[in-house]
Amino acid sequence: MSHAEHRQHLADADKNYIWHPFTQMQDWVKEDPVVITEGRDCFLKASDGRWYLDGVSSLWVNIHGHRRTEIDDAVKAQLDKIAHTTLLGLANEPSIILAEKLIAQTDTSFTGLKPRLSKVFYSDNGSTAVEVALKMAFQYWIHKGQPKKQRFIGIRNGYHGDTVGAMSVGSVDIFHATFGPLFFAALKSPSPFCYRCELNLETATCGMQCLSSLESILHEHAYEVAAIILEPLVQAAGGMIVWPDGYLRGVRDLCNKYNVLLIADEVATGFGRTGTMFACEHEQIAPDIMCLSKGITNGYMPLAVTLATDDIYQAFLGEFKDLKTFFHGHSYTGNPLACAAALASMELFSTDRTLASMQEKIRLVEHCLAELATLDHVGNVRNKGLMIGIELVRSKATKEPFAWDEKIGWRVAYAARRESVIIRPLGNVVVVMPPLAISLANLAHLMNVIKKSIIAVTLELKEGVW
Ligand SMILES: *Cc1c(COP(=O)(O)O)cnc(C)c1O
């Protein structure tokens, strides 16, 4: 087969055999897909030889760039020892050393704060990390002699994954509404989404009514609530919704007051995305349970962890016959290759000075966003660190959204793709999530392409090209 034939074979076989996630396959098969064959730094190479800038970190997982020698070498070294063994009844070296490192990191990040996270439970993706957290919180209260505490509170616009438990506590309707009958009934509190306040209040004068609403729910239901689960500071899949200062800390205070656990789903925000190692650090609070995945291995391998306090861990101790055991585990729990990749990735935070060198990039992004905000159809720009959302609206004055099926976000993404930039929108929100290691020059280029693409697409709109 010639190179061109092989390329065509891949495109055809993809369409013949693969069912892509979150994808209307009827549209997908109309065109040949971009087939990625290589990566380097912040770039992806496709089968036709073209290089693209990876503007969404390969779905938010890449931190330090692709093909990092340090991580490549760590994985290769581990391959020479063993690829997989199990944590059910056995232990392994990389999972032990990584757990130690993760706890040391949370100790540094949450210095002087209570509670203290001290145990690591492994799984393999963000959704499973959340399922583990929910089951852990649920069983914890049984062991504590408060079996009525069985319910969960989620924050509207929250997203915690696509498994049934994670969907039950999430609320991104467009993804989840179909499966409603399968869900357990979680309580939902208003989203602190100031641009589109669901309580119809003005940010300057609202006195954070959304937090008072949460307190009302707790006032009535705390006796039956195990935990509040939230994405600290940024509700990512819900549309890169950045919370107002003080809300997260307010929730922590309410959890203490009403004796409810706080589960921080840092699957998207963890590992530096928001400018600190964990988003909770911005408001100087620590959760009782913390879920991490996406950035943990720099995107090398599927891996997730659920961290818990000693208090939670201790509640599960007892005689064998008492069945206090946490009966949960996955085939790939604590996979050595994945843990080796995670260890090397964590080390890069200090060798690269990732967090320190991000600060200038964040300033550049915020400068570009301020410019973007002046464009006609840009309703709202928001970011925390390098988690960036640009919400496009039909009318700036009324905030009238574009209809879902106008695919405005996708139109911008396709325009960017013509400029060799890969981004993936969330409805009408243009999402930018570059690897944290992106150079200032590449970041400036990325923001410039985004701007050009938004202008091009909204100009088409004016000219009635659609
Ligand atoms: C992506 C995501 C998840 C789900 O992770 P998967 O690895 O896709 O299962 C959970 N919570 C948050 C906040 C996420 O962004």
**Same CATH topology for 34-64+353-462 and 75-351?**
no
Residue 240 Cβ contacting ligand 1 at under 6 Å: no
Residue 176 has pLDDT above 90, yes or no: no
Residue 174 has pLDDT above 80, yes or no: no
Name the token pair of 172: 């991104």
How many angstroms separate the alpha carbon of residue 124 from the centre of ligand 1? 11
**Which of 123, 159, 172 maximizes ligand 1 atoms within 8 Å of its Cβ, making it the mutation to test the pocket?**
159
| Contact between residue 189 and residue 153 where contact means Cβ atoms under 8 Å apart | yes
Where do the domains of the chain lie?
Answer: 34-64+353-462, 75-351
Q: What is the pLDDT of residue 175?
A: 78
Helix 69-79 and helix 336-351, axial crossing angle in degrees, nearest 10 = 150
- Give the pLDDT mean for 88-96: 98
How many angstroms separate the alpha carbon of residue 161 from the centre of ligand 1? 5
Residue 318 has pLDDT above 70, yes or no: yes
Residue 1 has pLDDT above 90, yes or no: no
> 3-state class of 299 per DSSP?
coil
| Contact between residue 454 and residue 81 where contact means Cβ atoms under 8 Å apart | no
- Give the pLDDT mean for 302-321: 97
Read off the pLDDT of residues 394-446 as tens digits, 9 standing for 90 and up.
999 999 999 988 999 999 999 999 999 999 999 999 999 999 999 999 999 99
Least confident of 1-15, 19-33, 164-178, 375-389: 164-178
Residue 346 has pLDDT above 80, yes or no: yes
Instruction: List the CATH code of the domain at 34-64+353-462.
Output: 3.90.1150.10
Q: How confident is the model at residue 466 (pLDDT cuts 50, 70, 90)?
A: low
Residue 293 Cβ contacting ligand 1 at under 6 Å: yes
Provide the mean pLDDT of the chain.
97
Amino acid making up residue 168: S
Q: How confident is the model at residue 209 (pLDDT cuts 50, 70, 90)?
A: very high
Residue 229 Cβ contacting ligand 1 at under 6 Å: no
Read off the pLDDT of residues 128-169 as tens digits, 9 standing for 90 and up.
999 999 999 999 999 999 999 999 999 999 999 999 999 999
Q: Is 326 left (phi over 0), alpha (psi -120 to 50) or beta?
A: beta
Q: Is 16 left (phi over 0), alpha (psi -120 to 50) or beta?
A: alpha
Architecture label for domain 75-351: 3-Layer(aba) Sandwich (3.40)
Residue 464 has pLDDT above 70, yes or no: yes
Q: What is the pLDDT of residue 237?
A: 97
Read off the pLDDT of residues 61-82 as tens digits, 9 standing for 90 and up.
999 999 999 999 999 999 999 9
Residues with Cβ within 8 Å of 296's Cβ and at least 6 positions away in sequence, in order, are 270, 271, 303, 304, 305, 342, 345
**Which of 127, 191, 271 maximizes ligand 1 atoms within 8 Å of its Cβ, making it the mutation to test the pocket?**
127
Residue 281 Cβ contacting ligand 1 at under 6 Å: no
How many angstroms separate the alpha carbon of residue 182 from the centre of ligand 1? 19
Atom nearest to 237 CA in ligand 1? 15
- Give the pLDDT mean for 103-107: 98
- Closest Cα partner for 154 from 231, 260, 47, 73? 231
Q: Read out DSSP for 76-137?
A: HHHHTT-S---SSS---HHHHHHHHHHHHHHHHHTTT-SSPEEEEEEESSHHHHHHHHHHHH
